[in-house]
């Protein structure tokens, strides 16, 4: 068994996540996930320079949450919930195929 995860870009991880959820949630919920994940992809690519989700850590999650708050388009009621489906537990979630049952935090 290969214990090293294959690299996966944030955009590809997003598409895999949305594809995994499309038969489990309504279209409006899926649209909401897509909208919120746009900000995460923008942060990964334009701010953080993160090109492999295997490098996404709890520290980077905190940096993302701070960036979302400071970016100005996140309502204060969402600051605490600003997170990502790619990293929802301290035990670690395989970023290439997040578990919908574990990853329910909203962006």
| Domains annotated on the chain, with CATH | 10-79 (1.10.150.130)
Is 98 a residue whose pLDDT tops 70? no
Structural tokens at position 75 = 């309502």
Q: How confident is the model at residue 20 (pLDDT cuts 50, 70, 90)?
A: very high
The rounded distance, in Å, linking the Cα atoms of 59 and 83 is 12
Could you report the per-residue pLDDT of 50-96, keeping only the tens digit for each? 999 999 888 898 898 888 888 766 666 665 555 545 444 333 444 44
Average pLDDT over residues 9-27: 94
State pTM to two decimals: 0.68
Dmax (CA) for the chain in angstroms is 45
Structural tokens at position 46 = 């334009």
The rounded distance, in Å, linking the Cα atoms of 98 and 92 is 10
Helices (H) and strands (E) in the chain, counts: 4, 0
């Amino acid at each position: 068994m290969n214990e090293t995860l294959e690299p996966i870009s944030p955009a590809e991880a997003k598409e895999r996540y949305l594809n995994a959820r499309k038969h489990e949630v309504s279209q409006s919920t899926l649209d909401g996930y897509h909208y919120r994940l746009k900000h995460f992809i923008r942060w990964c690519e334009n701010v953080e320079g993160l090109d492999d989700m295997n490098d996404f850590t709890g520290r980077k999650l905190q940096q993302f949450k701070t960036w979302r708050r400071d970016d100005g388009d996140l309502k204060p009621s969402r600051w605490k919930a600003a997170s990502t489906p790619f990293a929802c537990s301290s035990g670690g979630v395989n970023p290439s195929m997040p578990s919908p049952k574990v990853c329910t935090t909203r962006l």
